[in-house]
Amino acid sequence: MKLPAYDRMGVGYTEVRRADPRIEARIHRALGEARVVLNVGAGAGSYEPLDREVIAVEPSPVMIAQRPPEVARAIQAVAEDLPLDDNSVDATMGVFTLHHWDDVERGLAEVLRVTRRRIAFVTLDLDATADMWLCRDYLPEIVEHDRRVFPTIERLGELLPGLRIEPLPVPAGCTDGFCVALWDRPEAHLDPEVRRASSIWHQLPDEVSARGLERLRGDLESGEWGRRHGELRTRSELDVGLRLVVAELVQ
């Protein structure tokens, strides 16, 4: 197994990326009655249910080391080669992980092999994300990059039978500070500690990020951001392209 990228990017992850309770409630509802749940790309344990048996699979030791004592112990492995028997879990969940896999097709074939009833992933529909102010006005390079690594929603529909796509609006003040979750807090993007916890800032060339962020800083200082987007600060949630995709394996 090659050195997981999150051994570099995952340092300090849990300080910025705390599971948001409103997103968590939607994920747990999607798991239905499942008693044994696989969390693939489990990271530091965000969004894992505590009231069911969880099998956590995660390749990065740096992420595994940040798992709090109350969550399941993680197995160090990748989605593409799950160390689990056929039909051994009721449901599989995966949050913000598909775009990190080397081979989504193989990983989802593995998930289908081990899962009996239900599969629920949180991912992005980049056609919608492209409209979010940060991507549209400052850094279109974010979506250009992400289109190379995220499976499209259409492709997921081909790989997972009977896929249901549910919009997952991001609440204002979302406690999970992934990049586009900060739609209501533009200043947060200027904080290097916040950026460090989202992989996109490790993947864009430094000069590209610096150019977009300098324009954002200028627009915040001049009041231009407020004139164009200030109304967002009064909203309770926004669709930034987050999607809960759910496959039912038994009807």
Ligand X SMILES: C[S@@+](CC[C@H](N)C(=O)[O-])C[C@H]1O[C@@H](n2cnc3c(N)ncnc32)[C@H](O)[C@@H]1O
Q: Which residues bind ligand X (CB under 6 A)?
A: 4, 6, 17, 40-43, 46-47, 58-60, 63, 78-80, 95-97, 100-102
Min. distance of Cβ 100 from ligand X in angstroms?
A: 3
DSSP 84: S
Nearer to ligand X, 94 or 186 (CB): 94
Question: CA neighbours within 13 Å on the CB side: how many for 63?
Answer: 27
Residue 97 phi/psi, 5-degree rounding, is -125, -30
Query: Which of 43/241 has CB closer to ligand X?
Result: 43
Task: Give min distance, CB of 34 to ligand X, in A.
Answer: 17
Shortest Å distance, C-beta 76 to ligand X: 10
For ligand X, which is the closer residue by CB, 40 or 168?
40
Q: Report d(CA 96, CA 194) in Å as an integer.
A: 17
| Helix (H), strand (E), coil (C) string for 57-82 | ECCCHHHHCCCCCCCCCEECCCHHHC
Residue closer to ligand X by CB (options 59, 151) is 59
> Is the Cβ–Cβ distance between 6 and 59 less than 8 Å?
yes
Whether the Cβ atoms of residue 32 and residue 117 lie closer than 8 Å to each other: yes
At which residue do the structure tokens 């990020």 appear? 209
User: Which residue, 63 or 180, is less far from ligand X as judged by CB?
Assistant: 63
Q: Which is nearer to ligand X, 36 or 220 (CB)?
A: 36
Q: Cα dist. 41→120, 183, 221 in Å?
A: 13, 25, 39
Residue least distant from ligand X (Cβ): 43
Provide, rounded to whole angstroms, the least separation between the CB of residue 7 and ligand X: 8
Report which residue type is found at 220.
Answer: L
